[in-house]
Every structure is written in C-alpha cells, then in structure tokens.
Structure 1
Amino acid sequence: MKLKPSICISAVLVSLALYALLCYNGKNKVPAKSFFDFIRIAPQQLYKLDADWPRNPESIRGVPFDVAVDHLNSLVYVAQRGDNVSKVLVFTEEGYFKTAWKTNTLEMPHGIFAVIDDENLKSIWITDVGQGPYGHTVKQYSPSGALLKILGTPGIAGSRLSPLQFDQPADIFIKGEDEIYIVDGDGGLNNRLLKLTDDFSLQWTLGGNGTKPGQFYIPHSVAVDDVGRVSALNKPFSANIHCLCFMFHI
C-alpha cells in the first residue's frame, strides 16, 4: 500500500512544526542536534533533594542513623543515637514531627525496617549494636514503640545459633512474611548473614571473616530484590566508600 504524496507532505510539515515548537521555549531558543533528540523518551527523574526536610529540624537532637518508611500512612521513622534522646522519631511524609518513642529498651540503633502488608504497618524491627544491657539484639516493636519481640540475649555478645546470639547485629531485611535476613558483626565477633523463617528458627547462615566470596569484613547492611537476589554490604573503609560483598540468588 502506497501513501499518497499529500499525506506524506502533511506528515513532514507536522513533524517540522513540532520540531520548531520544541526548539523554542518562550523567549529563549533551545539548542538541539536533531529532531530525533526530541522524540526519544527522556529518563524520568525519580528522586530529588528536599533540603527543607524535616520541617522541624530542632526535633532531631541526636545523630540520625537510619530510616524506615510507612508508605501506607505516609510516615517516616528515623532512628537516632545519643544520650537522653528518643531513639526513634516519627515524621510525616512532608517532614513534620509527629511523635517520639518513649521506650527505654534501645541503646544504639543501627538498622531499622518497617514490615508492611497490603493493608497496614505491622511492626518496626531495629538492630541494636549497643554494648550495654539492651545491646547485641534484634528487636520488634509496634508502630507506637511497644516492645514485641527480642532476638538474642540482651547485653551478651556471642556467636551461638541455638539459641540465637549476636554481636552487634547491623541490619535486618524481611521479605514477605516468612523470610528474615540479618547481618551480624558490626565490628564484633561475627561476620555472617543469617536467614530465619517466620517462627525465627535458623534456615541457613553464611559468612566468615575474610574477603573471599561468601565472606565478610564487618557486614553492614542487607537487602533482597523482587527476583530473590540477596545483596550484602561491608562497612565502609572510608567515609565515602562501601564494598558490595556479594550478590546471589536464594
């Protein structure tokens, strides 16, 4: 099927008109190499800096260390460190201070993770690397800050797997309802990744101090993507450098 010359000419004229409109932005001309530069789909900017977040900066009196987001209720949980400060602050998505947890069962939070199902925020998990009577533990809290569950023996560092014992556990990631991943050993005895089931029993562990595949040097964080790849990150060797230790399929 051949196109009529009038149709082809009309298509060219429309394209040129569109090109002219795109090249002209108000009073200023926008340089372009070709018409095809404009018909390519530009990458969408997913994130941008909000320099005014939070709107109440005076509410943060400690050292912020990690955050967890409850997207269903548009809330942000900020874990902070310091003496005589609340260890968890809650802000709205817009950055306005909402509340502070009043729990005294946290010493030095490191990782914080929000467990969310299709309907609500179920709980907040926090790893505690403190050296005092509440440290060396992984703890589950209600959204309001009530302590629900403790993994590990508070105040005691160790490497036992049954019962579980940690030495400065750094981070936790929960996938679905039955996969719990914990990296243990933020400068302590252990350099390992543990996977627990939904009843908190050990499914497997991986690690050891070193730089070979499957080993760690101060594991710092863990995450799992939608296709089941587990990523673990070593502690930075400097202020600006992190080392991706390994990534594998579960």
Structure 2
Amino acid sequence: MARFWFCVAGAGCFLALLVLHSRIRDSPVLREFVFQVSWRTENVLYRLDVGWPKHSEYFTGVTFCVAVDSLNGLVYIAQRGENIQKVLVFTEDGYFLRAWNYTVDTPHGMFATRTLHEQSIWITDVGSGSYGHTIKKYSSFGDLVQVLGTPGKKGSGLNPLQFDNPAELYVEDTGDIYIVDGDGGLNNRLIKLSQDFMVLWVHGENGTGPAKFNIPHSVTVDSAGRVWVADRGNRRIQVFDKDTGEWLGAWNNCFTEEGPSSVRRNIETLVV
C-alpha cells in the first residue's frame, strides 16, 4: 500500500519538480508559462501563478533550473542560450533584481545554501565549452567563489573530482555535498564531499545492479539521513545511507516508460 501511494503521489511530484526544480516545500514560486498544473498534497494546493514573474522580458534564453533562498525571499533562475546572462534573480513576488555571470556554459542544476557566515548558489555545468563539466559556487551577487572540476575537461571516472556532465547536487546545513555525476557522460556516480571538498565516499559505475547507475540525474537528502537518487536511465530511485554510503534499496516498479528526472527534499513527505 505504501508503494502504491508513493507511485500516485510521485507522478504529480515529479511533474511539478520539472517546473520548480527547487525547494518547493519552502516556497510556492512557480516557473512562468509552459504548464498548467494543479494537484493536492497534504492539503496544500499548488497551482500555476500566471502573474509571476512581473516582467517576463528578462527571460532571453531557455529557462532550465530554479533555486530558492526562502529566508531572504530570493529566487534564482538559470537559463540556457548564447550571449545571455545565465542567472536571473527575482524576489518571491516576481520582481526582477539583477542578472549575473557569463562563467556558465550550460546550467543543469542549482542549489541555494545559507549559513551564519554566507549565502551561496551552487550550479552544475554540463556544457562542452571552456566552463563546462564543473560545479561552481557563487555568492548571492554572482561572484565566483569555488570551482570543482577542471573547466572544459571531461572526467574519466578515475578522479572523483573530474566530472563528466554533473547533473545536480545537494548541500546539507553541515556543508557536506552530494553530487550525481553523469547526465549522459561517461561517469555514473554518486559522490559525497565534506565541506572542505574531501571525498567521503563514492558509489557508481554504469550498470543496472545495486549502487550502479545509468544517468544519475537528481539527488536529495531526507530528515531520516537517507540519500535519494533519481537513476533516470534505469527507471528507478535508489536510496543510500548518508553517513556510510550503504545501499538501502530501490523503487523500481513506478516507472515503466520514462525514468525519474528529479527527486527533491519533499520526497520525505511521501515515504517516511
């Protein structure tokens, strides 16, 4: 019965996450146009806000991913395209604040973090240009703070910090980082890094068995200490212990035609 309800709720959840691709539970912000979605989860109604953003002319590229800093009321949107600002910053009410940086080729995943000392935006870059195959950390004003990986160079699987199309990451309040690396590239890995970027554990190679992946596409961590990975090519979700990296199991009966593209923190409301 739990698996049945997970499948039902998950179908709506994953469709929504394609639009929001961020911490939906913390903010009701929806991406502009495209989908008219309405569903109910835990007595909370989500629906399309056609008045957000206030000025859609700032979208000069293809909108791809979103991150929300709910404490400061900021929404970061990454877009793809040539000769455009890759990151747009809005208020939660939809008012444009600023745009920044040309140091991203092709954004794929974003994550907003906030500590007592800093506010940061992380972006995974799957581009093939001079900035691609990296994970970058920015200040809230767009200053480049940290680069993981070698810009413009694909990884081979031998070096955990040499990425090949890194799809997404999740950053805990402790600063620990979980990365899924391999959106169609040679690498098919789940990596955990400490806050000072030391490798704590690594799982993965291309395959269908436990702890193997075929296009690991999204990652999140729930309040019970479990790491959830959308294993898109294998049409399943795999689950790991966040401390040890131990494989805990997989959901593999919900996806028959297409694998999951995204899994986010509100997964815990469905399965805990």
TM-score by length of 1: 0.76
What is residue 195 of structure 1 aligned with on the other side?
192
What corresponds to 2:238 in structure 1?
A: 246
Distance change (3 Å), C-alpha of 1:208 and 1:43? closer
- Distance (Å, rounded) in 2 between the aligned partners of 1:171 and 1:223: 9
Query: Are 1:170 and 1:183, in contact at CA under 8 Å, matched by a contact in 2?
Result: yes
Question: Which one of the candidate residues 221, 224, 243 is aligned to 1:224?
Answer: 221
State the match for 1:34 in structure 2.
Answer: none
| Aligned partner of 1:206 among 187, 203, 206 | 203
The amino acid of 2:103's aligned partner reads T
| Residues 109 and 128 in structure 1, CA contact (< 8 A), matched pair in contact too | yes
Q: Distance in 1 between matches of 2:70 and 2:203?
A: 32
After superposition, what is the alpha-carbon deviation per residue over 1:18-65, rounded to whole angstroms, capped at 9, x for unaligned?
A: xxxxxxxxxxxxxxxxxxxxxxxx952253321222121111111111
Secondary structure, aligned partner of 2:84:
coil
AA partner of residue 127 (structure 1): T
- Report the secondary structure of 2:235's partner residue: strand
Give the RMSD, CA atoms, in angstroms: 2.0
| Residue aligning to 2:62 | 63
- Of the structure 1 ranges 151-160 and 180-189, higher mean CA displacement relative to structure 2 is found in 151-160
Where does residue 172 of structure 1 map in the other structure? 169
**Aligned partner (choices 68, 85, 109) of residue 111 of structure 1:** 109
1:108 CA drift (Å): 0.4
Structure 2 equivalent of residue 81 of structure 1:
80
Cα separation, 2, equivalents of 1:120 and 1:143: 12
Within 2, Cα distance between the matches of 1:58 and 1:110? 22
Q: Give the AA of the match of 1:95.
A: G
Contact 1:72 1:120 in 2 (8 A): no
- In structure 2, the residue corresponding to 1:55 is in which secondary structure? coil
Q: For 2:236, give the aligned amino acid.
A: L
> Measured at CA, do residues 89 and 121 of structure 1 come closer, stay the same or move farther in structure 2, by a change above 3 Å?
farther
Q: Larger Cα Rg: Structure 1 or Structure 2? A: 1
Q: Is the 8 A contact 1:231 1:244 kept in 2?
A: no
Count residues with an aligned counterpart.
202
Shift of 1:176: 1.6
Q: Secondary structure at the match of 1:172?
A: strand
Q: Is the 8 A contact 2:157 2:187 kept in 1?
A: no
CA contact (8 A) 1:221 1:232 kept: yes
Query: Aligned partners of 1:228, 1:210: CA distance in 2, in Å?
Result: 25
Q: How does 1:2-21 map to 2 (within 5 A)?
A: none
Q: Which amino acid aligns with 2:74?
A: L
Residue 120 of structure 1, CA deviation: 7.3
**Given that residues 216 and 245 in structure 1 are in contact (C-alpha distance below 8 angstroms), is that contact kept between their aligned partners in structure 2?**
no
CA distance in 2, matches of 1:229, 1:202: 18
Are 1:62 and 1:80, in contact at CA under 8 Å, matched by a contact in 2?
Answer: yes
User: Given that residues 68 and 76 in structure 2 are in contact (C-alpha distance below 8 angstroms), is that contact kept between their aligned partners in structure 1?
Assistant: yes
SS in 1 for 2:57: helix
Q: 1:123 aligns with which of 108, 111, 120?
A: 120
Question: Match of 1:92?
Answer: 91
Point out the more displaced range, 43-52 or 140-149.
Answer: 43-52
TM-score by length of 2: 0.70
Pair 46,224 (structure 1): closer, same or farther in 2 beyond 3 Å: farther
- Between the aligned residues of both structures, percent identity stands at 55
Helix, strand or coil at the partner of 1:115: strand
Read off the aligned partner of 1:60 and give its amino acid letter: F
Unaligned runs of 5+ in 1: 1-41
Check whether the contact 1:72–1:121 (CA below 8 A) recurs between aligned residues.
no
Q: Which residue of 2 aligns with 1:50?
A: 49
